[in-house]
Amino acid sequence: MGKVITLFNLLPRLHQALIGLLLLIIFAAFLIPSEDAEASRHTEKTAVSTQAPQTDIQLPLAFRTPDGPQSALSGNSAEARSSDNTTQETTNTKPAEPAKPELTEDSFTVRDGDTLAAIFNRAGFSAREVYDVTQLKQTGKIVKKLMPGDSITLIKDSDGKFAGLRYQLSKIDTLVVSRNEDKLHEYTVNKEVTHEEKFVTAEITSNFWNAGVKAGLTPAQIMELATIFGWDVDFALDIREGDSFALIYDEEYADGNFLQNGNILAAEFINQGERFTAVRYTDGQYYSEEGRSMRKAFLKSPVDFKYVSSNFNPRRLHPVTGQVKAHRGVDYVAAVGTPIKSAGAGRVIKSSYNKYNGNYVFIKHNDTYTTKYLHLNKRKVKQGDYVKQGQTIGTLGATGRVTGAHLHYEFIVNGVHRNPRTVKLPKADPIAKKERAAFTKLSETLMAKIESEKQVQYARERNAQ
């Protein structure tokens, strides 16, 4: 009887112990998998390595009650789900493929005299299919202007039927035609264009052009920089060794690939110790950092610097025979045929020839200012013509009393000859009042950036020495 009792008493204790053991296992199940889940989270990408911890937790899983540890395993099941996903992707597409007709693509290069019909023919499509494509509004127009060398991608289904095409319209836009059931659809896909600001600075040691090239600027950017400062600096005659420039320009990327250079956003030019600045505003115009228009009534030089003999030559020999007497103009030595621009807008008051001046043009800009251009090879304007600033009025020559080809340029203020390179002219218009605050903010940001980038560059150069 007592034995029965002790056995009876023991039973709950055994039960207790079993429960205790079970709890311990459950507790362990709580800890171990969550640790593994934590660890595997970092290596989720390497799917194979997560397999090992999974086998480790098989043991506690075998002991778990249906509900208990599940929450503890949630981390793990999430991981299992994600690995399911990756397998799903590969397995999912496979059974799907036979359901839809398989598509193949081929690229065709447009040949000389090619039409869409000829290309479709090469691809094995019917005349009917060409016709349907040309009936599309946008595509119909574009395929009429296929350029030799262009590439067109044609898509074919498993029955050999036309299923679509892709045609690159530009570095950014692609025209897409796709067939859905029996209907054709057309649309364009645009790559996203992103912008990056690029900084460049250089000191001029031989000439402006070489300094620009050495700094990594393109010819177009060098000319743009000269144009921006062309009202303040005579790039043909006034550049000296030690002059320097710094600029920030915009670079455009499509899908991370370089697309093209954008605008110069801000620049600084130091010419013979004098500092000039330019900031591009939202109106597309350039203003000095204080907000004065870069455009002025007169260009500093009527000749683009790129035509003028390249290296510094501040004391040119005067090309007029035996002439040492007072010279009332500025001479630009360049090749015959170099275009000569009107320094400012105005009216042609003389376009003629005589034995001293050769072919010459006089332009009256207003009651105060007149400019004169002598020894031209050809004149391109007639008396009475109105000319715009920068308009070509003739070409450089060696007509009249000269020994060599050059332009003799005179600048007359109220009837008095003045040096166009040093004459003080009225200040340019300031930016509109309502734009002032926004411009100042932009200007300060960009000029501060130029300054800090310059410091970085100087430091780098010092370290390199």
Cβ proximity to Zn ion, 329 vs 394, nearer residue: 329
Would the CA dihedral through 264, 250, 252, 190 be positive or negative? Answer: negative
Q: Which stretch binds Zn ion (CB under 5 A): 30-38, 324-332, 364-372, 446-454?
A: 324-332
Classify residue 429 by its DSSP letter. P
Please list every residue from 59 through 118 that binds Zn ion, using CB under 5 A: none
Q: Is 408 in the site for Zn ion (CB under 5 A)?
A: yes
Which residue, 226 or 333, has its beta carbon nearer to Zn ion? 333
Least distance in angstroms from the C-beta of 317 to Zn ion = 11
Q: Does 331 bind Zn ion (CB under 5 A)?
A: yes
Identify which range of 101-109, 219-227, 236-244, 402-410 contacts Zn ion by CB under 5 A.
402-410
Shortest Cβ 361–Zn ion spacing (Å): 15
Judged by CB under 5 A, the stretch of 33-41, 206-214, 220-228, 328-336 that binds Zn ion is 328-336
Quote the least distance from Cβ 329 to Zn ion, whole Å.
5
Min. distance of Cβ 410 from Zn ion in angstroms?
Answer: 8
d(CA 187, CA 166) in angstroms, rounded, equals 10
State the virtual CA torsion across 209, 213, 218, 220 in degrees, nearest 10. Answer: 0
Q: Nearest 5°: phi and psi at 345?
A: -70, 145
The CB-of-336 to Zn ion minimum distance in angstroms stands at: 16
Q: What is the DSSP string of 139-192?
A: HHHHGGG--TT-EEEEEE-TTS-EEEEEEE-SSSEEEEEEEETTEEEEEEEEPP
Q: CA 391 → CA 185, 266, 387, distances in Å?
A: 49, 26, 6
Kindly tell me which of 300 and 408 has the beta carbon lying closer to Zn ion.
Answer: 408
Nearest distance in Å: CB 328, Zn ion: 8
- Kindly identify the residues of this chain, within the stretch 227-286, that bind Zn ion according to CB under 5 A: none
Cα 353 to Cα 299, 347, 371, 380, distances in angstroms: 25, 18, 16, 13
Cα 448 to Cα 263: distance, rounded to the nearest angstrom:
18
Q: Candidates 48-56, 110-118, 196-204, 325-333: pick the segment binding Zn ion (CB under 5 A).
A: 325-333
User: Considering only 33-41, 42-50, 266-274, 400-408, which stretch makes contact with Zn ion by CB under 5 A?
Assistant: 400-408
| C-beta closer to Zn ion: residue 13 or 315 | 315
- Give 140's contacts (C-beta < 8 A, 6+ positions apart): 133, 134
Draw the binding track, 340-369, toward Zn ion (x: CB under 5 A; -: no contact).
------------------------------
Beta bridge partner(s), residue 279: 266, 287
Residues at the contact surface with Zn ion, assessed by CB under 5 A: 329, 331, 408
